[in-house]
Every structure is written in structure tokens, then in C-alpha cells.
Structure 1
Amino acid sequence: MADKYELPSTYVDGFHDREAVRRMRYRPLGRTGMVVSILSLGASSLGSVFRATSDDEAVNVVRTAIRNGINLIDTAAWYGHGKSENVLGKALEGIPREAYYITTKACRYLPDVDKMFDFTAERTLRSIDESLHRMKLDYVDVLQVHDPEFAPSLDIVCNETLPAMQQIKDARKCRFIGLTGYPMGNFRKMIEGTSVKIDTVLCYCHFSMNDTSLTDHLSYFEEQGIGVINASPISMGLLSNRGPPSWHPATDDIKAACKEAADYCQMQNVDISKLATHFTLSNDNIPTTLVSTASLANLTKNLQAVSESLSEHEQQVSAHIMKHYFHPLGNKTWEGVEVQKYWQEMKKLSK
């Protein structure tokens, strides 16, 4: 897949930093007609999901990202339980609507276990109106099913959630319909199990240094004309000096390998998160990768990763940790861990 270096259709003269947009690289997102920046902005951080954040800085991050050529922003009703979308509503005011694409999600909502998920048509239809109200928009570019692996059955998603999203698309409240989730095998089941046309899939932690299993599925998505949105090049904190949050579902051996790699990088005076971001962005067959931040300093570092190359020393360190820490993992995942825990909690509540 060739990168597009000419100015994208989202470029707005007088608003964008023209040279920054030229430095950004763009790739087509399936057959949607959208040509998206290879680095996109995940808005979960705007909802204070990972740490307490400043709304003023978060607004500045969004505006700076778009002005510098990022043209895809992904959010969800779940992030901060509406806060992320509210912050975006403030940030997007005054920005030309043609300057960005925005994707959001339905079906995951509140922190209470028994109120967390709702895949019914009625709730899905209501959710888009709530999202549009919070973001002060007339439409989103992609509406996605949020984490369908937590549904009682994928049949509910295929026969109820997705037809409701088709109604939303027919009403021009969204342009395209997408799926998200962690288990890669579920995407094919839903794509082939519904009459609704699926335009995009969003997967996370499956094209990073410790797990590159997304590549096994790219040819199928390409055959279906489906655009792939990748997320979390640092595997939700595994590939960082700080390490993963306490709730991270990875198994102990995955965490141990990532910590050993991070420790080795520190000894070599190299930032493992920088290596991880470069590693993910280097795959020409992945249209875009979401990186979430509410920090202007972190956004700047992420933007630099698009146009700057690794030093020879950094390349050597990257090759070393791939060979000695990550290849031996064999793309091991934590699939099923969170879903099993969720249904155990639901079972306790039912008693």
C-alpha cells in the first residue's frame, strides 16, 4: 500500500500547518474513500481514562493534532462515560468539519458491571444521538460496535446491533459502520454473519513489538474492502518505562518479557516507547494507528515519529529486543481473560 504524500482532501488552506501536513503520511482506509493519516488520535485519554487530565490541555492537543495533519480521531461513549466526547465537543468548535474524520462507538457505557454493555437496537439508536449532542456534530464518519466479545452472543450483534446501525447510516447520522474488539477471530464471524456492510475494523495490541498477529488477517480484510484501524503501539503500557497499569490483562510471562525488554532499552539509553511507535508505523499495509494522549509533549513526540528515523543505535536495540524478548513469545495474547472475568462478575450479581 503506497503512502500518499500529496495534500489530503481534509486539508483546509488557512487552517492547517501546510508543511506539517506535507510531513504527515496518508493511506486509504479500505473502500471508504477516506484517506487517513498513518498516525491518528485516540481520544480515550481525553476522558481521564488513564490519569487525571486537564480539559484545557486536552482541547489544545486535539486542535494541534488536526492542524498538524492528523485527520482521524477515535472516541467512544464509554471513555470517561461521555467526558471524552464532551471534551471533543469543545475542541472541535471552530474547526472546519471537512478537516477531520471522527469515529465513535456504541454498546459500552457505564462502569457498573450490570450496566456496562447494552447491544440492543433501542439503546444503540439512542446512543448515537447522545454522542452527536456531546460532540456538537450532525454526523460521525464511522459508528462502531464497542467490544462485541462481551455480548451474550455474536448473533445479537449481527441481528440487532448492526441493523440498528444501518438505520443510523440511512438517517445520515454516520457514514460508515465498523467493528472493534480484541479477539481477531470474531471479526470474520460478524462480517460473514450479518447482511449489514462492514466498512472498518478497529483492533488493538495486535500489531506491536510483542504481538504482530494482525498481519495474519490483513489479506482477508483487504479482500473484503475493509479498512483497518490499528491501536496501541505500546500495548496499553506494556512497552513503556512506566510499565502497564495494574488492571492490564496480559499474562505474567508477557509482562515479564516486556519489562525485561524495557529494562534493556533503559540500560542502552533508548526509549522503548519510541521504538514501539516506529515499529508499528513502519508497516505500510496498516492504514492508520491510534495513539491516545492528552499531553501536548507526548503528541509532539508522536508526530516526530512519523517523519524522523531511528538512529543506528536505536535500530540495533530494536532488533535485539525483538530477537531476544518478543519473538520467543510467539504472538501470545490475553484473549478471553477479560471476558471470563466479566461473566464471573455478572454471575455473582445474578445470585
Structure 2
Amino acid sequence: MRTTTLGGCTVEVTQLALGCAGLGNLYQPVTDEAALATVEAAWDAGIRTFDTAPHYGLGLSERRLGSALRGRPRDTYTVSTKVGRLLVPNPGGGAGDDLADGFAVPATHRRVWDFTADGVLRSLEASLDRLGLDRVDIVLLHDPDEHAEQALREAYPALERLRAEGVVGAIGVGMNQSALPARFLRETDIDVVLLAGRYTLLDQDGLTELLPEAAARGRSVMIGGVFNSGLLTAPRPGATYDYAPAPGPVLDRALRLLAVCERHGVPLRAAALRFPFGHPAVASVLTGARSPLEVRDTVEQLRRPIPDALWDELRAEDLLTPGTPVPVATSSKEPS
């Protein structure tokens, strides 16, 4: 699978990255065996970039990912994790589950926002312990929406020092909005932004400021949420968008996208996967999976040929923001 070096550093990412929230029992339980098989299927498909976080299943995702990668040569894969939420044990082990935060795991811990320098170091140390690794390749500030100033003044300098010391290879920010990551690009020396849900066939907000800023500065963007919480896999009433039922106008737009794709014989999810690669700042697309079947389907969809005429019709139907770059035509024989 094609690899790209992140702008500003030497860390490489594969064209597809495995998002590991599902390994942390996102919304529903996943067995240890299924989690292991999912990572193995990704490996067999050529995926060598894996993104996780303490938030995902209160550390379960990190533990499962570390276990699945154990024994593989450390220089053959890239691991990304995040800081900003410390996991603090609940008294007596906690009661109930963590479904209020989206994960089907026992509520053994609670999350505490912490973007201090000390919080960064404590979070990373705990992540390394759960992963069973002596280093990670990418560390991202995770959702600092309500903590922007502290993240800029305290957390970012701590990450910059870790990068300078060679403890981590690349640093950045991971968010579901584009304005604050664009500010980080302007005011700091981050290597990468993980942008979720804001550069998709449904929402090209990232093109307004963030992606041009990244391209101008020679920095990279990894795109998550290309299916917008599932709406672009099967648009229908009741489908979710941004983790909630899709509003009527958004659903209508998704159905129009589906109709265009069907006229060209292309599955909507294939077009959604390929779309972000039209922008030169995009280094990788990150998709979640909780089974080998989902991994294999994602790889298959990315390899599907997509004609230029599909993008032309999306433009003609005003379904793409004017000036949006699109991928070049692909063939089923193109290496991925």
C-alpha cells in the first residue's frame, strides 16, 4: 500500500490507516478475538498506520492494539495516540458502563481533561504502558475545543520538546472542526492534523482555511470520518450524521450524492473514500473497523475505478464546493 511521509518530519503513513475506536467497543462489544483478527486483516491488506487514544474504551483500544502488534518489527508500522484526557480510576472500580461516552465497557475510570505539560507526559506514559511500546510515532492533542489556550500555551510546548528529544516522531492535533486546527497550523510547528468529518463528500468545510493552510506550510492532513458517522454508507431516514440522526437537508444531500454515484456504477462509499485524496495536503484516510470483513470491504472500495465524469456531475449538481480538487481517474489495476 502506498505510503506518504508527513510534512515536516520523517514519519510515514499508509494511504489507509486503521482507526481503532472500534477496538475499544465503540457503541457495541467486540471480542478480543475479533479485535485481533481486525488488526491482522488490516496488516494483511498492507495497512501499517494505526490510530488510537486513551478515550477509546477507557484504554481498551490501546491495550488491544498493542497486543495485536506485539512481535511485529517496531520499525514496520506507525502508531498514533492522543493526549488531553487522563484516565482516573473510579472509586471501588466504578459501577455501570461507559455507554454515555459511547463505549460498551465497564466504567472503571473517568476522563479528566488535562492539557497541562504534566498532563501530556502522564497521559503519554500511561498510553505507552497500555500499548506495551517504548515509543509512539504520532501524538495528537485530542479535541482541545474548550481548552484551546491551555493546549497552545502548555500542551503544545510539551509535545514540541518530546519531538525535539526524539521521544515522538510527529505531533499535531485531532479534532472534529477545522478552525482551531488551522490556528494551530498558523501559530505552532505541528506536523499533522487529523480532521474528522470536515472534509467529505457531504462537508467540505476543511477546504475553507485548514487544507490551504496545511498545503502552504508543507504540512499534512489525515482525514477521518469520511462516511460522516455512517450516512455515506447507506443514506436513509434515521441514518446518523455527526453521531446524531441526520437532519432532513443533510439526508437529502446524501441521497443526491447516492443518485449520482449510482448513475456511474460507483458505490457511494467508494467515492467517499477516494474523494479526500484529491487535495495535495491529504496524506492518509483513516477508517474504523471492528471486523476483518469491514477492513476488506474498505480496501476493496478504495481500489474501485472512479471515472472523471462522476466528479464532473457532482460539480454540475452543486454537490461540491466550487474549486474543490478531485482525485484523478483511477483504474482497478492501480496499486494502492
TM-score (norm 2): 0.77
Partner of residue 20, structure 1? none
Q: Which runs of 5+ in 2 are unaligned?
A: 88-97, 102-109, 325-336
Q: 1:40 aligns with which of 2, 11, 17?
A: 17
Q: Are residues 1:239 and 2:235 paired?
A: no
2:301 is the alignment partner of 1:308? no
Contact 1:62 1:88 in 2 (8 A): yes
Could you list the per-position Cα deviations for residues 33-54 of structure 1 after superposition, in whole angstroms to 9, with x for gaps in the alignment? 2332211111111112143223
Q: 1:315-339 deviations in whole A, cap 9, x for unaligned? A: 76776566547348999xxxxxxxx
Deviation track 1:66-89 (CA, whole Å, cap 9, x = no partner) reads 343212111111111111101101
Distance 1:98 1:171, change over 3 A: same
The verdict on how the C-alpha distance between 1:166 and 1:210 changes in structure 2, with shifts beyond 3 A counting, is same
Distance 1:38 1:292 in 2: 14
| Partner SS, residue 91 of structure 1 | helix
Amino acid in structure 1 at the alignment position of 2:8: R
Find out whether 1:212 has 2:204 as its counterpart: yes
Question: Residues of 1 paired with 2:247 and 2:145: CA distance?
Answer: 19
Q: Partner amino acid for 1:297?
A: L
Q: Which amino acid aligns with 2:151?
A: V
SS at match of 2:62: helix
Secondary structure class of the residue paired with 1:326:
coil
Indicate if the aligned counterparts of 2:221 and 2:281 stay in contact, CA closer than 8 A.
no
Query: Letter of the aligned partner of 1:74 in structure 2?
Result: D
CA offset digits 1:260-286 (Å, max 9, x no partner): 544786799863222312333454541
Q: 1:140 aligns with which of 128, 136, 141?
A: 136
Q: Is the 8 A contact 1:241 1:271 kept in 2?
A: no
The alpha-carbon deviation at position 29 of structure 1 amounts to 1.6
1:130 correspondence with 2:126: yes
Q: 2-side partners of 1:323 and 1:235: how far apart?
A: 23
1:81 is aligned to 2:75: no
Q: Is residue 178 from structure 1 mapped to residue 155 from structure 2 by the alignment?
A: no
Of 32, 41, 47, the match for 1:70 = 47
Aligned residue in 2 for 1:165: 159
C-alpha displacement at 1:294, in angstroms? 1.5
Alignment equivalent of 1:227, drawn from 217, 220, 224: 220
Q: Quickly say closer, same or farther: Cα 1:272–1:319, change in 2 above 3 A.
A: farther
1:318-337 equivalences under 5 Å are 323-324=316-317, 326-327=319-320
Q: 1:202 aligns with which of 183, 187, 194?
A: 194
Q: Which moved more, 1:252-261 or 1:197-206?
A: 252-261
| Identity percentage of aligned residues | 26
Distance 1:326 1:223 in 2: 26
Measured in 2, the distance between the counterparts of 1:328 and 1:223 equals 20
The question of whether the paired residues in 2 share the 8 Å contact of 1:106 and 1:146 is answered with: yes
Task: State the one-letter code of the partner of 1:155.
Answer: E
**Match runs of 1:248-327 below 5 Å:** 248=244, 251-259=247-255, 261-262=257-258, 271-310=267-306, 323-324=316-317, 326-327=319-320
Contact 2:45 2:296 (C-alpha < 8 Å) held by counterparts: no
Give distance in 2, aligned partners of 1:252 and 1:109.
37
Unpaired segments of 5 or more residues in structure 1?
Answer: 1-23, 332-351
SS at match of 1:288: strand
Q: Distance in 1 between matches of 2:14 and 2:242?
A: 32
Q: Call closer, same or farther: CA 1:328–1:162 in 2, change over 3 Å.
A: closer
Q: What RMSD, in angstroms, separates the aligned Cα atoms of the two structures?
A: 3.2
In structure 2, relative to structure 1, the CA distance for the partners of 1:206 and 1:94 (3 Å cut) is same
Higher percent of residues as helix: 1
- Do the aligned partners of 1:139 and 1:172 also contact (CA within 8 Å) in 2? no
Of 271-280 and 74-83, more deviation after overlay is shown by 271-280
* Paired residues, number: 301
CA distance in 2, matches of 1:71, 1:303: 13
Map of 2:74 onto structure 1: 97
Which amino acid in structure 2 is aligned with residue 173 of structure 1? Answer: V
Letter in 1 for 2:228: S
Cα distance between partner residues in 1 of 2:134 and 2:283: 26
- Structure 1 contact 32–227 (Cα < 8 Å) conserved: no
Distance in structure 2 (CA, Å) of the matches to 1:167 and 1:249: 42
Letter in 2 for 1:286: V
Distance 2:145 2:313 in 1: 35
Structure 1 residues 51 and 272, CA gap change in structure 2 (3 angstroms): farther
Higher strand share: 2
Residue 287 of structure 1 aligns to a residue in which SS? strand
